[in-house]
């Protein structure tokens, strides 16, 4: 458990997933991938993905919690799926914008 600042990059401990924090609530935030707490160190340490959190992450997708206060960007995909304190994060529906540049 750690405070999450926007821009912080974290790795899954059990799969290839890497995320960057886009927005996070103040204070300590629990963040898991594949059901196991994420790390800012070495990444995959050889454990296994919990079957309840095994839907996988997709490159470039944004993931949010129920109230939208926590938002992550998947910068490397993996087999585990993201959760905060056990609550699964959902893919954020991006509003389609016209091309501007």
Partner 1 sequence: MNIMMLLEMAVSGCPERVAFVDPEMDASISYQELFDSAGNIASILGATDVARFAMLDVSNIGIPIGLFASSWAGIPYVPLNYRLTDPEIESLLDRITPAYLVTEPERVAGFHDRKGVQVSSRSDFVALARETEGTPDAWSMDPEDTAVLLFTSGTTGAPKAAVLRQKHLVSYILGSVEFMGADEEEAALVCVPPYHIAGIAAVLSSVYSGRRVVQLANFSAEKWVQLARDEKITTAFVVPTMLSRIVEELAGATNADMPHLQSLSYGGGKMPLSVIQRAMELFPGTDFTNAYGLTETSSTITVLGPDEHRLASASDEEDVQRRLVSVGAPLPGIELEIRDEEGAVQPAGSRGEIHVRGEQVSGEYEGRGSVVDSDGWFPTRDAGFVDGEGFLFIDGRADDVIVRGGENMSPGEIEDVLLEHPAVSDAAVVGIPSEEWGEAVVAAIVISDAVTTEELQAWVKDQMRSSRVPERLEFWDELPYNETGKLLRRVVKERLAQLID
20 touches partner 1 by CB under 8 A: yes
95 touches partner 1 by CB under 8 A: yes
Please tell me the count of residues contacting partner 1 according to CB under 8 A.
23
d(CA 67, CA 35) in angstroms, rounded, equals: 20
Q: How far is CA 6 from CA 41, 49, 76, in A?
A: 17, 26, 17
12: its two tokens: 């899954």
92 touches partner 1 by CB under 8 A: no
Instruction: Pick the piece of the chain touching partner 1 (CB under 8 A) from 1-9, 27-35, 46-54, 79-87.
Output: 1-9
């Amino acid at each position: 458990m750690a405070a999450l600042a926007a821009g912080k990059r974290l790795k899954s401990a059990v799969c290839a997933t890497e995320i960057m924090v886009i927005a996070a609530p103040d204070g300590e935030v629990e963040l898991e991938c594949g059901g196991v707490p994420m790390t800012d160190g070495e990444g995959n340490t050889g454990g296994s993905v919990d079957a309840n959190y095994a839907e996988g992450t997709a490159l470039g997708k944004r993931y949010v919690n129920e109230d939208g206060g926590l938002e992550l960007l998947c910068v490397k995909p993996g087999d585990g799926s993201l959760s905060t304190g056990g609550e699964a994060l959902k893919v954020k529906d991006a509003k389609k914008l016209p091309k501007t540049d």
